[in-house]
Homo-oligomer: A and B are copies of this chain.
Amino acid sequence: MSNPYLVNPGRRRALAVGGGFAALAGLPGAVLADGVRQDPPAKAAAGGGKALPEYAAWKDADAMVVHSANTIELRREDFGHSTITPSNRLYVRNNLNPPSADIVKDPDAWSLEVSGVARPGSLTVADLKRLGLTAVTMVLQCSGNGRAWFPHKPSGTQWTVGAAGCVVFAGVPVKDVVKALGGVAGGMKYMTSTGGEILPEGVDPNTVRVERSVPVEAMEDAVLAWELNGAALPLAHGGPLRLIVPGYMGVNNIKYIRHLAFTAEQSPAKIQQSSYRFYPVGEKGSDKYPSIWEMPVNSWITSPYEPGKPQPAGRVVLSGVAMGGFHALKEVEVSLDGGQTWKAADSFGPDMGRYAWRTFALAVDLKPGKYQIATRATNDKGDAQPKERQDNNRGYNNNSWLDHSIELEVV
């Protein structure tokens, strides 16, 4: 049987990298985590934009902005009003290139190692399916969503709002797996997971490995998922098996997970120790700064959103999405005047729980003129979106209501 970790030789591409990474030949395209360098541009599409990469060719091309082969976001005007983001409109962000698509051909055969429990061992997805079943609706969001608005131009993808979606993951609760293996071993403070990406040879694995630790308490709501929105989890989103940590930023939801470990310390990987840390502009990341874990409260208008096209005067229904982040959403307000005055908006559609976002709407009567439409969400903990983003070197966690506001011209 072929090794699922081996990249299809026919798809290997020459690397054009600076620095000391000439030894990485054999790895297709971008391989380094967290902005060490940009992904190679995807092939230009006929219309001038970039084409979807093959592993994500099933995405709705018209609704997506392809930044690179590993960074694809949803257009603001294509979020819809149905709470759930269709899988073919869910953003893609990979720290390393995905493994071969061979790994999703027989999902049940995928094997997961579990350690830091009373009885460590290996379980296939088929084994996991016999332990338990749950589903969680949650916002999946890249830590750098909204990065485009930071004035210091942080390195990394210049996402606006589209590196986020609200989706349903189904799989087995992590706590059911832990229970079947005798419980978490003593002294373990973190849940540490390792992705199934192919690592380059000749470099210290810790500099490239996709391995993240979250506080062990996160296991309470965590899921080992094999299903996304009712169908088998696609490779582009971490199939055959992904760790889902509801309420935590995207990077913590490890794709093609091959090792789930309960550990006393956080992972020594660079992506844990110094990348994905919240630290001042101009500084170097390190473990003295907070890790990018819990999502903040956030919201944005999604319709009407037709830049450059004025709306006719009269009644307009403003609508968008609002999330409480790690805590449940409490309320969302809308301003027509750039934050001078606010009105409460109504949530509509299904309430899918603490980790989901909600769609909201406010019908207003607009006279001709220019409006700056802002939205401000507040969660159950009392956190409200701030006016200004909180500057940080890598441009993470932007939930500024001012940055997310839009201009609307009415004629």
Contacts and interface: CB of A to CB of B under 8 A. Distances in A.
Interface in A324-371: 348-350, 352-353, 356, 359, 361, 363
Contacts of A169: 82
Given A84-B168, A86-B86, A314 B130 contact: yes
A319 to B, nearest CB: 6
A135 B229 contact: no
Given A349-B137, A350-B356, A352-B352, A84 B132 contact: no
Nearest to A349: B135
* Copies of this chain in the oligomer: 2
A211 interface: no
Contact of A349 (B79, B80, B170, B314): B170
Given A231-B60, A231-B86, A352-B352, A80 B170 contact: yes
A317 B133 contact: yes
Contacts of A24: none
Contacts of A363: 132
B168 A361 contact: no
A227 interface: yes
Contacts of A284: none
Interface residues of A, number: 44
Contact of A168 (B63, B83, B134): B83
B133 A361 contact: yes
A81 B170 contact: yes
Contacts of A134: 348-349, 361
Contacts of A228: 82
Contacts of A349: 134-137, 168, 170
A140 to B, nearest CB: 14
Majority SS at the chain A contact face: mixed
Contact of A80 (B82, B227, B353): B227
A349 to B, nearest CB: 3
A168 B350 contact: yes
A131 interface: yes
A228 B81 CA distance: 9
A288 interface: no
A229 B81 contact: no
Contact of A230 (B89, B319, B352, B353): B89
A79 B230 contact: yes
Contacts of A291: none
13 contacts: A60-B231, A82-B230, A84-B168, A85-B230, A86-B229, A86-B230, A129-B317, A130-B316, A132-B317, A133-B317, A135-B359, A168-B349, A168-B350
Given A86-B229, A129-B317, A130-B317, 11 more contacts: A81-B170, A82-B228, A84-B84, A85-B230, A131-B315, A133-B348, A133-B361, A135-B348, A137-B350, A170-B359, A352-B352
Interface of A: 60, 63, 78-87, 89, 129-137, 168-170, 227-231, 314-317, 319, 348-350, 352-353, 356, 359, 361, 363
